[in-house]
Chain A
Amino acid sequence: MIKKSFIGLVKPRIDYTILTDPDPALIDIPQPGRVTLLLEGNGNGELKKGDLLKTGQLISTAKDIFAISPVTGTVENISGWAGDFGQGYTAVSIDVAKDEEFDEQFSEVVKNISLENAVKYFSNLPGKPSFKKFKDPELDIHTIVVNGMDEDIWMTANQYVVQSRVKAIKSGMEALSKITGVNSIVLVVPESQAAAAAAAGVDVKVVSSQYPSAQPKMILKDLFGKVVPAGRNPENIGYCFMSAEAVASISDAVSTGKAPTKKVLTLINKDGGMIIVTAKIGTPVSDVFKACDINVEEKDRVVYGGPFTGSAIYSMEHPILPDTNALLVQDRENIPLVSDYPCVNCGECVRICPAMIQVHSLARLLEAGQYEEAADNYDLNSCIECGLCSFVCVSKIPIFQYIRLAKYELDRIRLAEAEYV
């Protein structure tokens, strides 16, 4: 756990965990008896209970919602699943068969894959490469940034992929260029990986190890000198971000003709120990803990993602997703709770905010539900969602939660207004 230093005059510096071990221990989680895929939206599409699926076979539950099966087996159940902010998912459970068979259609398609097919077949590869943005006629993407850094502290999964598979990343970048027609592809890595990555012959930029430098908007600001306008995304100014693991997966798929199905993730134990784990996409999280000898008790907390930006899960049946880069387990004794103590205006949040937002004013407006005022005059949309404000708040106000809630509510209001008109 990171604690405030004795000398509080200097603002706290929080660093990403940098992978230094050239050959870190790796635990491979055995194939689970059942995997679950979460697809956005509700509906079954063509898929029914009892369908036989091969590894790499394309399934679709709704229009424009695609996934490939990470295992060979039988569809056991299709049900609804509630995600964060009430977002609906369709959970497809697949009973894994003993013998693995690879789908021929997949290998046929990836031989000379078009953008159209990349959107479908690559959508849930490990690292979750999304090609939808390239199809959007309103976006003019001219640069792809491959992020070799992890999005949060205590995580090393992406760094591990860069360290161990830099050749695959290079060929993945070439494949990416072929599929999308984008020629400028840059790999962003921490200092320690820069030399090896440059030696492999890819375009490299070095990112600082201070959190939150590896967040897309900070990378654009620090390394590319481009500022994303408030409330917009990097894609709006022509930059598309993809994780290093996603690019390595593309390379695997294209070069072998088989769908890569193993996700690399960092498992952060209750004592803060970190191990790198590979697991089939869709493995229930309880299987991962069982294989790693981690005991999760009642009232502990399990987080998908890192300590600043992850999201807590409510069920041990939650599957490993294609973009689950870390699993954080917290003992119930070590869970800091939020409080209803008022803001005392100490200014810690304002000083630590990387987006230079007046967080103390913003938090007061959000507490009062003044979302529109917050967005218009207090820079709600400039927030890059790093979570540092809540981390340093002396009153333990859940500022970050207020901010996400406000953004969500404003989106809802906008949607409702658009429908009304």
Chain B
Amino acid sequence: MYSQKKLIVSHAPFIHEGSRVPNRNYHIILAALPAVLMGFYHFGLPAVGVVALSVSSAMLWELLANVLRKKEKHTIGDGNAAIIGLLFAMLLPATIPWWFIIVGTFFAVMVGQQAFGGIGHNPFNPVVFAALVLFVSYRNYFDFNVALVNYDFEFAAIYPLTALKTYGVSGVEGFSTMDLLMGNQTGGIGATFGLGIILGGIYLIIRGFIRWEISLSFLAGIFITAAIFNFANPDQYAGPMFHLVTGYTLLGAFFLATEDSSSPVNFNSMLIYGAVGGFMTILIRNIGAYADGVLFAIVLINLLAPIFEKIRPKALGKVD
């Protein structure tokens, strides 16, 4: 009896489809690359520096968190901190000072995620959370017109959303949607090249790494709300296409609002979640004090996500 072979005994199911979290994360990084590379092309070496420092500092913060929490297995290899660093850098102007990045990734990784228990436990998208903390605290550093003043671009070097806020629709008449979509605008390192973000987003949707319901309803929310404003007063409020391709709209729709942990997973909940996000974005842009409302809107829908998640289908055989 005792000489018999020892078999592995475990619970069903005995097969797995093979998907893993690091795999998901690395594909999201891959999908973000076109937009980041365009940022490198437009903003040069300073942009490379910002991205490199942001990704590395985010990973080091996570390492520190692993050490502090006495984790046996360190999680910096799973790509989660790297995504946080990359997406955070994509929101920033290329000339941002180094300490700003390090403080930002601290808020994202340590406060936004690890304080709540690490990956999967964050109530807010850590990137958006950190960017907002710094935006509210040091608003001037996010002023793209000031930050990018020493650049010599081939296109109008004024941040489209500031122009809209300051001069109204007449101030942005010079921008064509196509130019904006192709990245001929100022803004965050990875936020200007709309086409690249859309391609990356479509790749992620097809592979099933992000949920199309959120992206699509977010964009639809923006489009419809902006169209209503535009219809009511075309002189004061810009058209829906302008809003779709400026600021953080596309980045928000495909990379920020879709963050797994802070978004709902039921079909109807996702549609409402995205649509409210788009609606709030335009509301803040058009009648709020800030030029761009994506970050605020996403934090707001993150906050509401558990409530949206209450809208759920009835389980099989459930007795009321």
Contact = CB atoms under 8 A, between A and B. Distances in A.
B24 A308 contact: no
A316 interface: yes
A9 B265 CA distance: 14
B44 to A, nearest CB: 35
Interface string B170-194: 0000000000000000000000000
A347 B265 contact: yes
A382 B315 contact: yes
A230 B316 contact: yes
Contacts of A300: 5, 7-8
Contacts of B312: 358
A1 B315 CA distance: 30
Nearest to A351: B265
A391 B16 contact: yes
Contacts of A350: 265-266
Given A230-B316, A356-B315, A313 B12 contact: no
B7 A316 contact: yes
A231 B120 CA distance: 30
B5 A308 contact: no
> Which DSSP category, helix, strand, loop or mixed, fits chain B's interface?
loop
A177 interface: no
Interface in B214-265: 260-263, 265
B120 A328 contact: no
Contact of B318 (A346, A382, A390): A382
A377 to B, nearest CB: 11
B147 to A, nearest CB: 34
Contacts of A354: 316
B269 to A, nearest CB: 10
19 contacts: A4-B17, A221-B316, A230-B317, A298-B7, A299-B6, A299-B7, A300-B8, A301-B7, A308-B12, A312-B12, A342-B117, A344-B24, A345-B261, A350-B266, A354-B316, A356-B316, A390-B12, A394-B20, A394-B21
Interface of A: 1-4, 6-9, 12, 217, 221, 227-232, 296-303, 305, 307-317, 328, 330, 332, 335-338, 341-348, 350-351, 354-358, 360-361, 379, 381-382, 384, 387-388, 390-396, 398, 400-401, 404
Interface of B: 1, 4-21, 23-24, 117-121, 205-209, 211-212, 260-263, 265-266, 309, 312-319
